[in-house]
Amino acid sequence: MPKRRKAAPSPNIRIRENVKKDESSGVIRAGELYTMNAIKRRLDISDSALRSMMNEGLQPVPMGKRKFFLGEDVLKFFREVSCA
């Protein structure tokens, strides 16, 4: 049976790969929306650490049963915490 040739990667696959790399890199972009899990992965923090940040002023955006965070809000939170 002849070997199948791999199809050339589409631009969408490359984009997804780049996002995967960013997920664990600590990069938070101001113009993006993040899930709680994405924030925990990117910042390498536990659930309790994220909840502590929420108690200290980080405001989630509730949508149904899920909570999201605006990148601007996360960056603002760290700026405020670092100045205090």
The full set of domain ranges for the chain reads: 25-83
Among residues 26, 44, 33, which one has the least CA distance to residue 67? 33
pLDDT at 26: 82
Strand ranges in the chain using DSSP code E only, listed in sequence order = 33-35, 61-63, 66-70
Is 28 in contact with 35 (CB distance < 8 Å)?
no
Q: Which tokens go with 3?
A: 């070997």
Does residue 19 carry a pLDDT above 80? no
Domain over 25-83 is classified CATH 1.10.238: yes
Q: Which residue has the higher pLDDT, 41 or 11?
A: 41
The pLDDT score that the predictor gives to residue 5 is 57
Q: Which neighbouring-strand residues pair with 52?
A: none
How is residue 19 written in tokens? 């996002």
Q: Lowest-pLDDT range, 6-15, 18-27, 41-50, 58-67?
A: 6-15
pLDDT at 11: 46
Residue 78 has pLDDT above 80, yes or no: yes
- In the predicted structure, residue 25 carries a pLDDT above the cut 80: no
